[in-house]
Amino acid sequence: MSQQESHSYEFGRFRLKTAERVLLREGELVPLTPKVFDILVTLVEHGGQVVAKDDLMKRVWPNTFVEEGNLTQNISLLRKALGESPGGVQFIETVPRRGYRFVADASRSWIEKPAPPASAWPEDVRVAA
């Protein structure tokens, strides 16, 4: 069996672990709602690029009609979770009438998880020695 791969992003004092769906600030868990987490992942994955409001809403609320105010409120919650303040550190830039852009430098790293031991494999996958 192959190894399972996961990746994370690091920016500022934060580490975003996508597979585990957690955001850590200096090793401490930062509580985020699922929608806020999805917005953060989308913005970080498109770092430096404007993500249109419509694209964000389609990704975070697929097959659901939501008003732009829902997105705005979740972006506000995300900014608070990241500790953004006027004149302070900024991670998310609002691009008027277009969308949002993640502006911090983020580095991506891969984490390899070892495959489970053969004893955990189903009988039909084990190979007799």
Q: What is the mean pLDDT of the chain?
A: 84
For 58-85, how does the pLDDT look when each residue is reduced to its tens digit (9 = 90+)?
999 999 999 999 999 999 999 999 998 8
Specify the amino acid at residue 53: K
Instruction: Over range 3-23, report the average pLDDT.
Output: 85
**Predicted model pTM:** 0.79
| The pLDDT value given to residue 9 | 94
Task: Inform me whether the pLDDT recorded for 111 exceeds 70.
Answer: no
- Is 53 in contact with 68 (CB distance < 8 Å)? yes
Rounded CA gap, 18 and 52, in Å? 21
Q: Which domains does the chain have, with CATH numbers?
A: 4-120 (1.10.10.10)
Cβ-based neighbours of 91, under 8 Å, separated by 6 or more: 11, 12, 79, 82, 84, 102, 103, 104
